[in-house]
Amino acid sequence: MIPYPTVQDASVALGRNLTLFETVWFDYSATKSDFHVYCHTILVLFLVFSLAPLPFVFVELTGWFERFKIQPKVKYSLSDMFLCYKEVMKLFLRVVGTLQFVTYPSIQMAGIRSGLPLPSLMEIVAQLVVYFLIEDYTNYWIHRWLHCKWGYEKIHRVHHEYTSPIGYASPYAHWAEVLLLGIPTFLGPAIAPGHIMTFWLWISLRQMEAIETHSGYDLPWTLTKLVPFYGGAEYHDYHHYVGGKSQSNFASVFTYCDYIYGTDKGYRVHKKLLQQYCTALRALGSIMILVVIGIIGFTYYALVVANYGPSLFLGGFDSLLALLVLALFHFLLIMLLWSYFSVVVTDPGGVPPGWRPELDIEKSDGNQEYSSLTVGDSSSHIVRYCRKCNQYKPPRSHHCSVCGRCILKMDHHCVWVVNCVGAKNYKSFLLFLFYTFLETTVVAISLFPVFLVFFTDGDSDVTVSPGSLAATFVAFVLNITFALSVLGFLIMHIMLVIRNTTTIEAYEKHTAPNSPYNLGRKQNFEQVFGKDKLYWFVPLYTEDDMKRMPALRGLDFTSRSEESEPLQSL
């Protein structure tokens, strides 16, 4: 309690007039005991925990800054975040509230004061720097211990329930962890005691930093970007993303401990490997084309040169059978190669430079309440933004790290074709699968009689040389393996076409089977293969289909809601 009855008495005791802040502090605390003032710490923490995450809640719900979301595929609803807040508040009242009463003697012993004069700005800054450094170092070692097997399974596992953290989840933890990590928070003020206001400012800044670190957004304009060796949201998000097995990025605020003790190697290796992986895929693609051509060439030798080619000159049924097999094989081979190289050389569809969804942008410019900018769900009609390409992207498009750009209606990046599979080459890809299955099946059936000779004792009617027999055996195994593998892949993509969804969308949350683009089997099929039936089995589109079907170009897709609008207006 301030030992002065009036402001004038305080001024006389200090030998100067009170500053504005000191006057306000006098009015606030003059009639309160030190214990009463200290108990207001819980109010400070409650306000910080309740209010500081609200901007990130707003950002998450509106999607305005989706371009800066670290894990854009993870979405949290208002109910999800409220549930987290409710659990945190229960823990807050049970643990933190109790601590306020039992830790007061230690605060007195440490020498934290609540009277006058108030500390100077330089004193506050110096103490805060000391507090942050002490907290960061001690927190590092406690956090690292919590990732040992016992510590994680018994205590720290609760905090890692959020693999993609949110602001309200920063204090979400086991009660024992709250107590343990409270030690670094109080250690700095105990070593370098100051005023209770400095203490309140310290715990407020520390919790606000933790909330930002757990926000899930790497915002480029935050002031913490100016702090040397600061970790930040992207740095700590990796720790949560890896989960219990993480032995990296333990530091709470700065990165120097992780650097000194080598516990940021996993993070640095991860980023380096990701870059190398993309580079390796690009290099591997060229090799895979040679592999495909090699398999086709080897199959051609086994079927045509070693077996059915010579049979053409035997006469009778053998010649007729050989002619039918070779005609069907060459037809399927031509269609396979046509479809394959069509996938390889056709641009899957990139977002045009400077592309802007004019209708939605006009709405957002003219309506302050329009909050649909940059929402990351690919099944949504709202405007989306790629922070890697730094441009808007249409619905259903995704960024490919290997190609280094956004792909229209991206399905996946295929190593076998050295290309992304997207809006403009998806039909060619499906036909490639279709003709590959037919061709490998025909080859396997055609070579099966000769394949059986490999297991006989030489009493078969089929006579082939040992070299041809070995080539036939290998070709049969290769083709039957590819036939079975491609069949499963083909069935999967047929189901995707029927539902009008992509591989990426099928694995995203809140998508498939109720995709808004599911217009019925007929229209879904036409959005991939076109309306002209004569072109369904060739990797081409008619000019009329390209003009009247925007979905084939990958920039605009009809949804069920748009289909129903004309009916509702009648």
Q: How many angstroms separate the CA atoms of 57 and 523, rounded?
A: 39
Residue type for position 66? E
Q: Taking Cα atoms as reference points, which of 111, 106, 119, 100 lies closest to residue 43? A: 100
In angstroms, the CA 179 to CA 64 distance is 36
Asked if 325 contacts 333 with a C-beta cutoff of 8 angstroms, the reply is: no
Structure tokens at 457: 């004792």
Please state whether the peptide bond connecting residue 117 to the residue before it is cis, i.e. omega within 30 degrees of 0: yes
Helix spans in 214-303 (H)? 233-242, 256-260, 265-300
Find the DSSP H helices in 63-103: 78-91, 97-102
Rounded Cα distance, 425 and 342, in Å: 7
**Cα(392)–Cα(175) distance, integer angstroms:** 44
Active-site hit among 84, 386, 414, 420: 414
How many helices (H) and strands (E) in the chain?
24, 6
SS3 96: helix
Residue type, 351: V
The size of the chain, in residues, is 570
Given a contact cutoff of 8 angstroms between Cβ atoms, the answer to whether 363 and 370 are in contact is: yes
> Is 414 considered catalytic here?
yes
Rounded CA separation 253/229 (Å): 9
Which residues in 387-538 belong to E strands, given as ranges?
391-393, 398-400, 405-407, 412-414, 419-421
What is the C-alpha separation between 163 and 233, in angstroms, rounded? 13
Residue 509 to residue 486: CA distance in whole angstroms: 26
The dihedrals phi and psi of 391, each to the nearest 5 degrees, come to -160, 160
Contact indicator for 178, 159 with CB cutoff of 8 Å:
no
CB count in 10 Å sphere of residue 210: 22
CA distance 173 to 49: 14
| Cα–Cα dist 119/386, whole Å | 47
Long-range contacts of 489-493 (CB under 8 A, 24+ apart): 489/433, 490/430, 490/433, 490/434, 490/437, 493/429, 493/430, 493/433
How far, in Å, CA of 422 to CA of 415, rounded? Answer: 14
Q: Which positions are catalytic?
A: 414
